[in-house]
Chain A
Amino acid sequence: MRYPSTVLDIGQTVPAIPGLDLGSDPALIVFFETDCPTCRLAVPYLNKLARGARVIGISQDDQAATNQFTQQLATAFPVQRDSGLALSRRFDLTFVPSLFLIDHNGRVLRSHFGFDKAVLNEIATQMRCPPVAEDFDGAPQSKPGCMSRHLEPKVEGEFGPGPAIGFTRGVPASVIEVPDGEDLFEYCFQTFGDALPVIPPTPERISNMLSGATVNPGEVIARVPPCYGEATVEKIAANAVMAGCLPNMMRVLLPLVRVVCDERLNIHGVQATTHFAAPLVLINGPIRNELGFAYRQNAFSNVARANSTLGRALQLILLNIGGARPDAIDMSTLGNPGKFCYCIAEHEEANPWEPFHVERGFQRQQSALTLFAAEAPHGVSEHTARTPEQVLKSISYALATVWTYRACLGFDAVVVLCPEHARTIHRAGWTKQQAREFLFENTGVPVRAYQDAPDAEGSQLISKYQEILIDGERCYQKFRSPGSIRIVVVGGTAGKFSAVIGSWAAGPRGSEMVTYPI
């Protein structure tokens, strides 16, 4: 869906921007608000564009909010403030993000507002840069923006802080009194727990937890499906206390609650399906070491407080605020041990390629979290192969069994490469993309597997499958594209054990992987 363009027409000269020397090449002027989700979504793509072209950000917010925005999102282009929103008025914006591509005379070559991958790629082409936005990278194709700050209803004073979009005040949590003589831990275990003991959420502990948050305890961070309970900062802190988090974990937990409720992940479906899916959390960037996330040996195990408490806090929030109680709303046939905790971090130091979040459009020095509706890990032992082809072939056999052997196309997978396997592949000069393409081209289900099984799951859809030859054998290709296979490097440096993790129903009709900055 396209939205009408901004008010300045092509060919018109833009109002003068204080301190801006137009230079000889086209420049892209981007107006944004610091709390606009669409503006935040656009920044990684603008960062990519800024590698080869001139991008100038104009913030509609105050210095503190702008600084926080540029630090959090690691903006790779200069940002200046629109003091008093004078420029916004002169440009006559309606929405943010508003993009104006201007030539060296300050004439508008193109304008657009909102986020649209196709438009960003067209602008990149006009600026003689490679495309910046890939399809199916976890972000939507397009997303409408927010109303320009100067058009918002006024609050205190003409240019006071605008109302925070997407935030509202929630109902304060009630106080429960546990009578004397009752075992406090047993009470909490039975009333709030996930079938494991929890730390009692006393006011003192919650107050301490809130010291790790910079937002008001009453702010609603998200409404958590399937019951759409309001996750206020206070409620999130209460569940963080119960899970054993340290206050600094609120830095990660608040964006985590926001991302788990991102409509693309579709946690409503993930929580309500009879499938095995549970949200897998992947942490990238400097925060791994700052907060002590485990990513070496035992990365999926109970080895670090950070992974265990963050993963469990998320699950408690989904249970207690989202209402996905097992045997009530969550009727998963077999469930998933990851519903206690499913949180890993990438071993970026042992990853010979770019870290996963960089592949997803973020800066290396930035921290990010990724969510994936995941089955349990399926181990692949390969201790004797010496070439990339042999290692990846072994992994492709496990990939062929994702969802169920005969089913193709409807799902994605994460390949968790151990450092030794990653090294073997990289040592031969392979890029991560080459590895992914090899897995794509070599993962299939032999056509003979469908003979005599017309009613088996997957057999009814063969008219939609692509037939290919793998090692001379006719096969149906397992995945839709190389992009359906994500590669991360995790684990200890000793041992040649990788893993394959299948998804729930993938794509816009199911669940899509989502990555957010921390």
Chain B
Amino acid sequence: MPTKLINPMNETPVRVSTPPARPRSLQGKTVGLLDISKTGGNLFLDRLEHLLRERFHVANVVRTMKPTFAKPAPPGIIEQLRAVDAVVEALAD
């Protein structure tokens, strides 16, 4: 006879969403740059913004910053990035 066990793992239903298709080109697109407020993130994103504008001819860059790297982005930040075509997050130190 099989042994019965009570499942101790997370069984909370989750909503699965599909990520949008990657853009084929960045030309004319709007790109969001998210600084998570770690030291040096602004230096990295300043350079990236320059490259995106000069080399990839993006139409617009939306810069935003989390108040702290230690917590998830507040809803306002997510809302700001909802309308852009792609996001780059400066995640690490």
Known A505-B70, A509-B68; judge A202-B3 contact (CB<8 A).
yes
Residue A510 is within 8 A (CB to CB) of chain B in the complex: yes
Known A230-B12, A321-B10, A510-B70; judge A175-B4 contact (CB<8 A).
yes
Cβ-defined contact, B70 with A509, below 8 A: yes
Cα(A170)–Cα(B7), bound, Å:
14
Per-residue interface assignment for chain B, residues 27 to 71, with 1 indicating a CB less than 8 Å from any chain A CB and 0 otherwise: 000000000000100000000000000000000000000011011
Residue B8 is within 8 A (CB to CB) of chain A in the complex: yes
Interface residues contributed by chain A, number (CB under 8 Å) = 46
Question: Which residues of chain B are within 8 angstroms of A176 by Cβ–Cβ distance?
Answer: 4-7
Known A180-B1, A268-B71, A509-B68; judge A202-B6 contact (CB<8 A).
yes
Cβ-defined contact, A173 with B7, below 8 A: yes
Residue B2 is within 8 A (CB to CB) of chain A in the complex: yes
Cα(A510)–Cα(B72), bound, Å:
11
Cβ-defined contact, A179 with B2, below 8 A: yes
Question: Which residues of chain B are within 8 angstroms of A170 by Cβ–Cβ distance?
Answer: 12
Per-residue interface assignment for chain A, residues 180 to 208, with 1 indicating a CB less than 8 Å from any chain B CB and 0 otherwise: 10001000100110000000111100100
Question: Which residues of chain A are within 8 angstroms of B6 by Cβ–Cβ distance?
Answer: 173, 175-176, 201-203, 206, 234, 238
Question: Which residues of chain B are within 8 angstroms of A460 by Cβ–Cβ distance?
Answer: 39
Per-residue interface assignment for chain A, residues 296 to 331, with 1 indicating a CB less than 8 Å from any chain B CB and 0 otherwise: 000000000000000000001000111100000000
Cβ-defined contact, A192 with B10, below 8 A: no
Cβ-defined contact, B5 with A200, below 8 A: yes
Question: Which residues of chain B are within 8 angstroms of A239 by Cβ–Cβ distance?
Answer: 8
Which residues of chain A in 198-245 are interfacial with respect to chain B, using CB atoms and an 8 Å cutoff? 200-203, 206, 223-224, 227-230, 234-235, 238-239, 241-242
| CB-based nearest B residue for A205 | B6
| CB-based nearest A residue for B5 | A176
| CB-based nearest A residue for B14 | A227
Known A171-B13, A184-B3, A509-B67; judge A242-B39 contact (CB<8 A).
no
Residue A463 is within 8 A (CB to CB) of chain B in the complex: no
Question: Which residues of chain B are within 8 angstroms of A241 by Cβ–Cβ distance?
Answer: 8
Per-residue interface assignment for chain A, residues 265 to 282, with 1 indicating a CB less than 8 Å from any chain B CB and 0 otherwise: 010110001000000000
Known A177-B3, A178-B2; judge A192-B70 contact (CB<8 A).
no
Question: Which residues of chain A are within 8 angstroms of B7 by Cβ–Cβ distance?
Answer: 173-176, 238
Residue A511 is within 8 A (CB to CB) of chain B in the complex: yes
Residue B11 is within 8 A (CB to CB) of chain A in the complex: yes
Taking the closest CB of chain B, its distance from the CB of A289, in whole angstroms, is 30
Cα(A242)–Cα(B6), bound, Å:
11
| From B4, B8, B10, B71, residue with most partner A Cβ within 10 Å | B8
Known A266-B70, A460-B39, A510-B68; judge A171-B12 contact (CB<8 A).
yes
User: Given A173-B11, A203-B5, A321-B8, list of 20 further CB < 8 A pairs?
Assistant: A174-B7, A175-B5, A175-B6, A176-B5, A177-B3, A178-B5, A180-B2, A184-B3, A200-B3, A201-B5, A202-B4, A202-B5, A227-B14, A238-B6, A241-B8, A266-B70, A269-B70, A321-B9, A323-B10, A510-B70
Pairs of residues from A and B, 5 with the lowest C-beta to C-beta distance, nearest first: A229-B10, A238-B8, A509-B68, A177-B2, A269-B70
